[in-house]
Amino acid sequence: MQSVDYTTLAAISTDLQTHWLPARVEQVYQRDRHTIALALRTLKTRGWLTISWHPVAARICMSEPPPRTPDTFTFSDQLRHQLNGYALIALNAIAPWERVIDFQFAKRPGEPAVWHLYVEIMGKYSNVILTDASNEIVTVAHQVNAQQSSVRTVQTGQPYELPPTLTGTKPSLDETFLRWRERVSLVPGKLQRQLLESYRGLSPTVARAMIKMSALDPQQSTDTLTDADWKNLFDYWQEWLKVLQTGNFTPGWSADGGYTVLGWDMIEPVKTVQILLDRYYSDQVNQEKFSQLRHQLTQKINNLFGKLRVKADGFSQRLQQSEEADRYRQQADLLMANLHQWKAGMTSITLNDFETGQPVNISLNPEKNAVQNAQSLYKQHQKLKRARSAVEPLLKDVVSEINYLEQVEASLNQIEGYTNPEDLKALEEIREELIAQNYIQDAQQRSAESSDESLPYRYPTPSGFEVWIGRNNRQNDKLTFRVATDYDLWFHTQEIAGSHVLLRLEPGSVPDEADLQTAANWAAYYSRARQSEQVAVVYTEPKYVYKPKGALPGMVVYKRERILWGYPHNITG
């Protein structure tokens, strides 16, 4: 993940100073344990300023409004108490080439600052610190005590101290080409490393882009550069410093998958640096959350499957044993009908079956008489019969639970990777469902990222209709019982876990065979049988789909179904 460097921070600060000063603080909301959002209102507009001290995604940028969920964080509560109603009157770097921005708040524009919010964008050491006018710390996002750092402590009640000063020479437009070249090449070494070690404020991202634009290799030694190479590189060096001086930044997406504010190696421009950073870091943070959550849910489902299958095997074995119940009764009946053949001390007796006439060998207890042995066999029959009546509903419940989890697993497997926020929402809904079904006990794992529901997949058919596909059981139930109309058709793989699929039809419209086949192919693709060549898919009208009383999410029964073969490898969309 690309970190916010001094150059990016300068671009953000320039944009905020131009468009968001002065602004009134109307609200403070903490999105998560690393991110707060300030609602700012100017004379022309209103927006949300995101400030994050995330260890790898620390940033400052305008962003989308936060979700409408309760904010229970102490830090934001303290900021709200101090800053609400105050005016943001200034924001400045605390010193040249330092990645610390001082946000200043006063009762109204033109008055002295009453509060300072220091935002330190320094990788894993990032922090947000509120001080009063005398620079005494009032509250801090992350307190640092002497045990955690011997260099600098950050705690409530103590004076705010600036971070340790960076070493290295400050870049300057006044520096001559010869002096600059001499400094970088004084000790031969890899070009990128020598640039970074010779000057402060230069990030690996900018150095790498500068070298690439000069058609050089970051790993090549400085003593291999020609005079022309040095001159070309120096031109980009000065271009970088001029952009910082004038504030003429050019935001956009770079060819390496990151972003640039200098316009170098850019493949697509972005309107503002605010939009650029918000989109980049939102996607990066969501990607990280997605990977972690999907791993957690996959592990949880696999653990549950393991336990349930052990239970199912145990119940099945007990049922197999209980199937011997009728044999014990048959032997007891034979023994009672042939008491005259019993002799004292017998350990077994062979009698002919009533119906087949085949010999049946019956084990006997030599210490008991024939009637007592028959009574023991009757007792064994009753015991196994009771076990069967007790075990059958238990096995049915376990099998039902396994079928439900297979449905959840099918939803989980279809969300293979993060492509947009809908993917993360769909995963969070699966987690919420497992919490609601008591498979995940820790309610604190509930997400506060968004109160909106994720949207189903949508794909066109050859005739221009749409196929809607549930991403999880919440969506499956919604599509089937709330969205579907009398004109739609409902599809699902036959006796295989998978998504509920709707072929959306207008009143009076009739789908072609190609439309039905398209819907069947998607139903097969979004199921546990995705890797099969062909899959049996049922379809019917939504009014013939029912949810049994007490059924788990996504579990339904249907009737008046018709069958199509779905081909998961023939999908197009």
Alpha helix segments (H runs only) across 492-531: 513-525
Contacts 24+ apart (CB under 8 A), 542-548: 542/480, 542/484, 542/485, 542/486, 542/488, 542/489, 542/490, 542/502, 543/486, 544/490, 545/480, 545/481, 545/490, 547/477, 547/481
Residue 498 and residue 548 in contact, taking contact as beta carbons nearer than 8 Å: no
Read off the DSSP letter of residue 142. S
Report the helix count and the strand count for the chain, using DSSP H and E: 12, 22
Q: Is 237 helix (H, G, I), strand (E, B) or coil?
A: helix
Q: Report which residue type is found at 301.
A: I
What is the spatial order of strands in the sheet that 59-63 belongs to?
59-63, 46-52, 35-41, 23-32, 87-93, 100-106, 115-120, 127-132, 137-140
Q: Report which residue type is found at 121.
A: I
Q: What is the pLDDT of residue 41?
A: 96
Q: What is the pLDDT of residue 322?
A: 67
Distances, alpha carbon 36 to alpha carbons 26, 411, 424, 539, in Å: 13, 32, 20, 48
Distances, alpha carbon 55 to alpha carbons 283, 346, 424, 495, in Å: 16, 82, 21, 47
Distance CA 127, CA 449 (A): 21
3-state secondary structure 159-222: ECCCCCCCCCECCCCCCCHHHHHHHHHCCCCEHHHHHHHHECCCCHHHHHHHHHHCCCCCCCEH
Residue 149 and residue 135 in contact, taking contact as beta carbons nearer than 8 Å: no
Indicate the pairing of strand 46-52 with strand 35-41.
antiparallel
Tens of each residue's pLDDT in the chain, 573 residues: 899 999 999 999 999 999 999 999 999 999 989 999 999 999 999 999 999 999 999 999 999 998 888 888 999 999 999 999 999 999 999 988 999 999 999 999 999 999 999 999 998 999 999 999 999 999 999 999 888 888 889 999 999 998 888 778 999 999 999 999 999 999 899 999 999 999 999 999 999 999 999 999 999 999 999 999 999 999 999 999 999 999 999 999 999 889 999 999 999 999 999 999 999 999 999 999 999 999 999 999 999 999 999 988 888 887 777 667 778 888 888 989 999 898 999 999 999 988 888 998 999 999 999 999 999 988 878 887 777 778 888 888 888 899 999 999 999 998 888 988 899 999 999 999 999 888 987 654 444 444 568 899 999 999 999 999 999 999 999 999 999 999 999 999 999 999 999 999 999 899 999 999 999 999 999 999 999 999 999 999 999 999 998 888 999 999 999 999 999 998 876
Q: What is the pTM of this model?
A: 0.74
Q: Report which residue type is found at 411.
A: S
Distances, alpha carbon 340 to alpha carbons 255, 347, 354, 371, 378, in Å: 97, 16, 16, 11, 19
Distance CA 539, CA 521 (A): 12
The dihedrals phi and psi of 25, each to the nearest 5 degrees, come to -85, 115
Domains of the chain, CATH where assigned:
6-140 (2.30.310.10), 177-270 (1.10.8), 320-399 (no CATH), 457-570 (no CATH)
Residue 467 and residue 499 in contact, taking contact as beta carbons nearer than 8 Å: no
Closest Cα to residue 48, out of 60, 58, 56? 60
Q: Cis omega (within 30 of 0) on the bond before 22?
A: yes
Beta bridge pairs of residue 361 = 350
Distance CA 51, CA 35 (A): 6
Q: Is 560 helix (H, G, I), strand (E, B) or coil?
A: coil
Distances, alpha carbon 317 to alpha carbons 312, 323, 392, in Å: 9, 10, 11
Q: Which residue has the tokens 């099998």?
A: 399
Distance CA 287, CA 441 (A): 25
Q: What is the pLDDT of residue 442?
A: 61
Distance CA 161, CA 399 (A): 63
Tokens of 307: 């336990």
